[in-house]
Amino acid sequence: MEFRELKIAGAWEITPRQFGDGRGVFLEWFKGSAFEAAVGRPLDLRQANCSVSAAGVLRGIHFTDNPPGQAKYVTCVRGAFLDVIVDLRVGSPTFGQWDSVLIDDVDRRAVFLSEGLGHAILSLEDGSTVMYLCSLEYTPTLDRDLHPLDPELGINWPTAGRDGTEFAFQLSDKDAAAPTLAAASEAGLLPRYESGTHPVG
């Protein structure tokens, strides 16, 4: 496994080593010892989720009140997604900035994001399937959202899939009604960098 820290502190891209032959492919998409050595903390697994999306489905930007916060370890088992991490921690040197990783069924990369970071995924083909490990069980009262098309964030979302076919973004009603970064900040909904939201190690 190769770990690469993204420009947002507390977020990593993980590239597994794949072993293939005529029967197929084997890989370790998560390994606790390698994870802890690279990230400097364990992943306290509390829930594992699976989501399947049509091309153009845009999910997020989602985050969780911090504390307690929710860390996520995300991979794509079918199709392709653009995975975007946004720094929502007030006081962070990269506050309001974002980074992205293409996760797909070719390179089979994963992404880890620490508590306090925002997360969004855009499906790049029909039937794309993402699996993610969470450090906190789903708790609706702690869930927060930001609008993924907020011009202040300026996320460079693609408008065509992996095969070049153009699509329109599909958002849930909840995501379409989400506030902008400025509105969430004004309402005091964002985590603070100095309250333990940055990574350990």
**Secondary structure (H, E, C), the chain:** CEEEECCCCCEEEEECCCEEECCEEECCCCCHHHHHHHHCCCCCCCEEEEEEECCCEEEEEEEECCCCCCCEEEEEEECEEEEEEEECCECCCCCCCEEEEEEECCCCCEEEECCCEEEEEEECCCCEEEEEEECCCCCHHHEEECCCCCCCCCCCCCCECCCCCECCCECCHHHHCCCCHHHHHHCCCCCEHHHCCCCCC
Catalytic, 138? Answer: no
Among 62, 119, 147, 198, the one annotated catalytic: 62
Catalytic, 62? Answer: yes
Among 119, 132, 147, 198, the one annotated catalytic: 132
Which residues participate in catalysis according to the annotation? 62, 132
